[in-house]
Structure 1
């Protein structure tokens, strides 16, 4: 069996323990006392499933394969599983229109991010792990096998459950649709579309450089067109607009603390931005160009170029 097919099979089978256990709970919770705590504590159940199925099982798979590739794929899948879990839980109550809207938006977001991931990975399952995990593995050396449980998997539970809390709130409160729901939809769709366009422009840029490298021509040092003309990380901006739009659904239903997940996720992405930019300026062929780009271009929020830096005519053309 080829590596790609084997990894695809592993990824498809990996969430089955949680899916089967939850299906059993939904079928037997009225008849078996062992399920009573699950009925009254949906968040406790989902965190238990996440801990054993994602943190422990995925970690064990990563030790066997010496790669943490699978958590990247499941960043796009877990929110879909969570929104359906909250919707179908026996204790759920919700406005049907709002529920269907959030479920639909989550599917669209997941398909966008999944497509972007596999397009970037040339449609391979597990061809490589995130470069940040590889750097951490070098940093921790022989201790990485146990550090990775916390740095790669347990931390994902905090992030994913946190940013997906609006999905729980939407399926815990039944109130009529209002103007803030409409605003949240607009924000979510804007974020998804913005991130898709930015990722597509980045993919075209990377593909072009790969072709230039194949024929021995000089690489284009920096992407400074399209949405990337106005923002150094428009894909990150679009992703954040999606999560903040989702948080508005929860806030609108009276849960002010729902912002915590979006705030933590934004702080995390801010740190990732720093890591990415440090990596950019270490590449000799693009270092000077990127430093100028940093000085003239907004980090996340799209904005006009700064006029404080004078760019030579040959580089401005």
Structure 2
């Protein structure tokens, strides 16, 4: 219980340096600098360095996961309140509201999965990486976890910057972006809820292949991608389609994570055979009906022969 309370206290205190600095910053226009420059500096010192130092003390990199759900909310408010901001207030309100809904959904799913505990464990991928790097992990973790997260989160949040730096009237493209974002949030919510119920069902089957998971092996990842690509449509409509680089990097990252997750499933002897069958009949991301099971079974048998 003491560890849980300590982890919760740390999680609430770590963003304070950035918050205090920024509140003082916006009161002095003489110090105004480009929003992207300032946010990268704050991220580097307050997340990369501080989170990494705390991880060395605690021997756990747990904090980056819950903060993945919080940092985009902080970023969208940062861009909207920056002294150089110039934007359509309705578009800004829509995107800020969507970001809060996305964050609450992901925050809820994270703590539900962790049995409502702070810092109970770090991501299993970090544990695997620590074993690979061995004694070098203490310094390699900075370059393997924290710097990539800065590039990814700042990149994904580039549409927030564009939305709050261009003032144009709303259009039908904004409606399309809104629908994509909402679809992504809802898809990820229902997929994660079905996965949570499956994991906590003691009489469960070896593989989840019902509900959304009947049509796709990773519907939760698809939902997350729709959310970020929906934000890109907001920015593209404002003449800044280059912001797709963050969403593209995230899609590539999720593709790699998908590979790791499936490899992990295939290492579980009690599930390997059932999961191979699932792979042979079900789409990876894009929902579709089952493939021809007899043909898939034949291909699987030939591969194992």
The answer to whether the superposition gives a TM-score over 0.5 is: yes
Report Cα offsets for 1:81-109 as digits up to 9, x if no partner: 00000000000000000000000000000
Report Cα offsets for 1:2-31 as digits up to 9, x if no partner: 11111001000011100000000011234x
Alignment correspondent of 1:194: 187
* 8 Å Cα contact 2:109/2:192 also seen in 1: yes
* 8 Å Cα contact 1:87/1:171 also seen in 2: yes
Cα separation, 2, equivalents of 1:311 and 1:167: 44
Cα separation, 2, equivalents of 1:124 and 1:160: 24
* 8 Å Cα contact 1:295/1:309 also seen in 2: no
Give the CA deviation at 1:308.
4.4
Alignment correspondent of 2:85: 92
* 8 Å Cα contact 1:230/1:304 also seen in 2: yes
**Which of 128, 132, 144 is matched with 2:125 structurally?**
132
Q: Does 1:285 align with 2:278?
A: no
Alignment correspondent of 1:241: 226
* 8 Å Cα contact 2:206/2:274 also seen in 1: yes
Give the CA deviation at 1:307.
1.0
Superposition pairs of residues 29-48 of structure 1, within 5 angstroms:
29-30=29-30, 35=31, 39-48=32-41
Alignment correspondent of 1:255: 240
Cα separation, 2, equivalents of 1:40 and 1:156: 23
Q: Does 1:109 align with 2:94?
A: no
Cα separation, 1, equivalents of 2:60 and 2:104: 24
* Structure 2 stretches lacking a partner, 5+ long: 298-305
Alignment correspondent of 2:58: 65
Report Cα offsets for 1:283-317 as digits up to 9, x if no partner: 011100000100100000111100143689xxxxx
* 8 Å Cα contact 2:88/2:166 also seen in 1: yes
Alignment correspondent of 2:300: none
Cα separation, 2, equivalents of 1:309 and 1:289: 15
Superposition pairs of residues 271-282 of structure 1, within 5 angstroms:
271-282=256-267
**Once superposed, which parts of structure 1, at least 4 consecutive aligned residues long, lie more than 6 Å away?**
none
Report Cα offsets for 1:213-247 as digits up to 9, x if no partner: xxxxxx52100100000000000000000000011
Superposition pairs of residues 11-30 of structure 1, within 5 angstroms:
11-30=11-30
**Which of 139, 142, 145 is matched with 1:149 structurally?**
142
Cα separation, 2, equivalents of 1:205 and 1:116: 14
* Structure 1 stretches lacking a partner, 5+ long: 213-218, 313-317
Cα separation, 1, equivalents of 2:226 and 2:292: 27
* 8 Å Cα contact 2:191/2:212 also seen in 1: yes
Cα separation, 1, equivalents of 2:257 and 2:22: 34
Q: Secondary structure at the match of 1:40?
A: coil
Q: TM-score, normalised by structure 1?
A: 0.92
* 8 Å Cα contact 1:79/1:164 also seen in 2: yes
Alignment correspondent of 1:268: 253
Provide the aligned length of Structure 1 versus Structure 2. Answer: 297
